[in-house]
């Protein structure tokens, strides 16, 4: 293990984090908020720690797989610990609650322990939502884009952090790939801010809700989430941008380059849009014939919640915990599907669901043609045996984490539905669940050990299980993380 390069990169990350806190500090300064000194102390401490660690002399610049895994995993933990300090130093939250809140932010989960969001100082609110935007595209990808000092190990970081079973370079150089992704990310962000501002939101709230949308996080400035804005226009803008943010960002670059055939015929995209369409239609019909009098309002709310849950954003315009069981069952299933690989969303990912469908179809075909060679193809390319095994084992590992987490959380006695949905919402980076953790509830009443467990589930969910687990096991699993 090259500890020097690990500490050096973590130092660069802390230095970057101190810079990212400056807008929140400026807001607190301009408004005279009580959180000003908390940001001043945090920025100074984080910058100093980052500077000291980044000055460590490294003999070997080459980064291997284990160093990449260590940097990615520790990077998220260290970023979250220092990011929690403004909440602690301002007296807003204790450390466990602050760590939970910031992990929820950086992993774009959107779970909260804050019972009254609207009383938080604006500087803290801005930092809370900005964590979504930072974590959405990835802390390490941000570093690769703007601080390219990691040498030949940048692709290890990119593959360990990129959400999905594959991580391909868009451009020959890793830095160029990261810049292209972030350029796309920034353009989508600016467009949504403008559209929300045109809809009557203040610039401040437009920016914060855009951070939560494009980062697929879900932190709002209102206790009633997006439902506090009684505007169909705002609801639809956010719903569509949640859906857009769940698309593989590399496809937008292909569309920009005029490769529309590749964009429109992408199998994952078509399945993703198909699931959204069918789920929205089914829930709309269920709501229309049960609790809604207006079919158009039912369609609006159904589309919003389907987009919110499948992209793992977690915004809400209605208390879907009061919807019929049929609609809630669909939303619960969408908690596991997740968005596309290469998007800012969490969950299992549509590409793996597509693989599962193709695997089932192949096994049925082999009943009739037992000797036939039937490779699984996605995008016209046959998947290798290693990738097939990695994806299949990911499903098994995901289920084990879900079941194990549910059993442990249920020890608190909140009920099976609450425990299962809290774990599903955490490992899938969604935020709200059902019952005790419904869209009008918070995670404040969980014990500290449960909050730490849920924080761990958020992290392994965001880093796709293998990245964290492979770090602590020997053998080939450590190498397999970059194929899964």
Please state, in angstroms and rounded to a whole number, the distance separating the CA atoms of residues 313 and 325: 21
What does each of the 484 residues of the chain score in pLDDT, given as a tens digit? 677 778 888 888 898 899 999 999 999 999 988 999 999 999 999 999 999 988 887 766 666 667 777 787 888 899 999 999 999 999 999 999 999 999 999 999 999 999 999 999 999 999 999 999 998 877 656 555 444 444 444 444 445 455 555 545 555 556 677 778 888 889 999 999 999 999 999 999 999 999 999 999 999 999 999 999 989 999 999 999 999 999 988 888 888 888 888 888 889 999 999 999 999 999 999 999 999 999 999 999 999 999 999 999 999 999 999 999 999 999 999 999 988 888 888 888 898 898 888 888 888 888 888 877 888 888 777 777 777 777 888 888 889 999 999 999 999 888 899 999 999 999 999 989 999 899 989 999 999 999 999 999 999 888 877 676 666 665 554 555 444 4
Q: Are 158 and 207 in contact (CB under 8 A)?
A: no
- Taking only Cα atoms into account, the Rg of the chain, rounded to an integer number of angstroms, comes to 22
DSSP string across 240-293: HHHHHHTS-HHHHHHHHTT-HHHHHT-HHHHHHHHHHHHHHHHHHHHHHTTT-S
DSSP string across 47-59: HHHHHHHHT---S
Among all chains, which residue has been given the structure tokens 């908690």? Answer: 335
Q: Name residues whose C-beta falls within 8 Å of residue 461's C-beta, 6 or more positions apart in sequence.
A: 107, 109, 346, 426, 427, 428, 429
Please state, in angstroms and rounded to a whole number, the distance separating the CA atoms of residues 129 and 209: 8
CA angle centred on 130, ends 129 and 135, rounded to 5° = 105
Please state, in angstroms and rounded to a whole number, the distance separating the CA atoms of residues 421 and 457: 13
**CA dihedral angle for residue 149, residue 154, residue 156, residue 158, rounded to 10 degrees:** 120
- pTM, entire model: 0.88
State the CB neighbour count (10 A cutoff) for residue 48.
13
Picking from 330, 310, 64, the residue whose alpha carbon sits closest to that of residue 320 is: 330
Among all chains, which residue has been given the structure tokens 């670059």? Answer: 253
Among all chains, which residue has been given the structure tokens 């929820």? Answer: 104
Please state, in angstroms and rounded to a whole number, the distance separating the CA atoms of residues 221 and 209: 8
- Three-class secondary structure of residue 146 per DSSP: helix
Look up residue 343 and give its two tokens: 């998007």
Report pLDDT for 371: 79
What are the backbone angles phi and psi of residue 58, rounded to the nearest 5°?
Answer: -115, 125
Picking from 189, 309, 312, the residue whose alpha carbon sits closest to that of residue 241 is: 189
Domain limits of the chain?
378-480
Helices marked H in 138-173 — which ranges?
139-146, 154-161
The domain defined by 378-480 folds into: Helix Hairpins (1.10.287)
Q: Are 54 and 11 in contact (CB under 8 A)?
A: yes
Helices marked H in 257-384 — which ranges?
260-264, 267-288, 295-310, 325-337, 350-368
Report pLDDT for 484: 45
Look up residue 233 and give its two tokens: 């226009």
Look up residue 197 and give its two tokens: 């501002």
Please state, in angstroms and rounded to a whole number, the distance separating the CA atoms of residues 482 and 484: 6
Please state, in angstroms and rounded to a whole number, the distance separating the CA atoms of residues 253 and 270: 17
Please state, in angstroms and rounded to a whole number, the distance separating the CA atoms of residues 416 and 230: 33
- Look at the alpha carbons of 431, 437, 439, 442 in this order and tell me if their dihedral is positive or negative: negative
Q: Is 36 left (phi over 0), alpha (psi -120 to 50) or beta?
A: alpha
Report pLDDT for 482: 43
Q: In sequence order, what E strands does 223-336 have?
A: none
- Three-class secondary structure of residue 137 per DSSP: helix
> Burial of 319 by CB count in 10 Å (0-12 exposed, 13-18 middle, 19+ buried)?
middle
Look up residue 443 and give its two tokens: 């995670």
């Amino acid at each position: 293990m090259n500890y020097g390069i690990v500490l050096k990169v973590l130092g660069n990350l802390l230095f970057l984090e101190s810079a990212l806190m400056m807008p929140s500090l400026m807001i607190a300064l301009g408004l005279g908020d009580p959180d000003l000194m908390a940001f001043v102390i945090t920025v100074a401490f984080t910058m100093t720690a980052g500077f000291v660690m980044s000055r460590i002399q490294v003999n070997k610049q080459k980064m291997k797989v284990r160093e990449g895994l260590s940097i990615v995993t520790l990077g998220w933990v260290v970023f979250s610990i220092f990011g929690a300090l403004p909440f602690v130093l301002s007296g807003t939250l204790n450390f466990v609650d602050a760590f939970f809140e910031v992990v929820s932010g950086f992993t774009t989960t959107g779970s909260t322990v804050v019972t009254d969001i609207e009383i938080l100082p604006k500087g803290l609110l801005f930092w809370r939502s900005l964590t979504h935007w930072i974590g959405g595209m990835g802390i390490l990808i941000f570093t690769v884009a703007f601080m390219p000092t990691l040498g030949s190990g940048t692709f290890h970081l990119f593959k360990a952090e990129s959400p999905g079973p594959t991580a391909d370079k868009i451009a020959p150089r890793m830095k160029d790939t990261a810049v292209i992704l972030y350029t796309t990310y920034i353009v989508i962000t600016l467009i949504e801010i403008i559209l929300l501002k045109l809809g009557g939101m203040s610039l401040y709230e437009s920016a914060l809700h855009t951070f939560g949308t494009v980062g697929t996080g879900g932190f709002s400035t209102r206790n009633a989430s997006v439902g506090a804005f009684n505007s169909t226009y705002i609801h639809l803008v956010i719903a569509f941008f949640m859906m857009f943010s769940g698309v593989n960002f590399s496809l937008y670059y292909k569309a920009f380059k005029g490769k529309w055939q590749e964009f429109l015929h992408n199998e994952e995209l078509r399945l993703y849009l198909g699931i959204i369409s069918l789920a929205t239609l089914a829930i709309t019909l269920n709501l229309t014939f049960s609790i809604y009098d207006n079919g158009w309002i039912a369609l609006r709310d159904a589309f919003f919640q389907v987009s919110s849950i499948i992209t793992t954003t977690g915004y809400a315009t209605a208390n879907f915990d009061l919807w019929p069981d049929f609609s809630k069952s669909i939303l619960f299933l969408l908690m596991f599907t997740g968005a596309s690989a290469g998007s800012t969303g969490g969950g299992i990912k549509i590409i793996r669901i597509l693989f599962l469908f193709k695997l089932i179809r192949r096994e049925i075909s082999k009943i009739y043609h037992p000797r036939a060679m039937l490779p699984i193809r996605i995008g016209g390319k046959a998947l290798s045996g290693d990738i097939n095994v990695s994806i299949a084992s990911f499903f098994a590992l995901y289920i084990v984490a879900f079941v194990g987490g549910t059993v442990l959380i249920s020890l608190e006695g909140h009920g099976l539905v609450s425990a299962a949905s809290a774990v599903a919402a955490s490992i899938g980076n969604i935020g709200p669940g059902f019952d005790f953790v419904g869209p009008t509830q918070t995670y404040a009443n969980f014990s500290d050990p449960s909050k730490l467990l849920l924080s761990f589930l958020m992290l392994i969910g965001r880093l796709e299980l293998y990245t964290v687990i492979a770090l602590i096991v020997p053998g080939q699993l450590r190498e397999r993380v970059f194929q899964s």
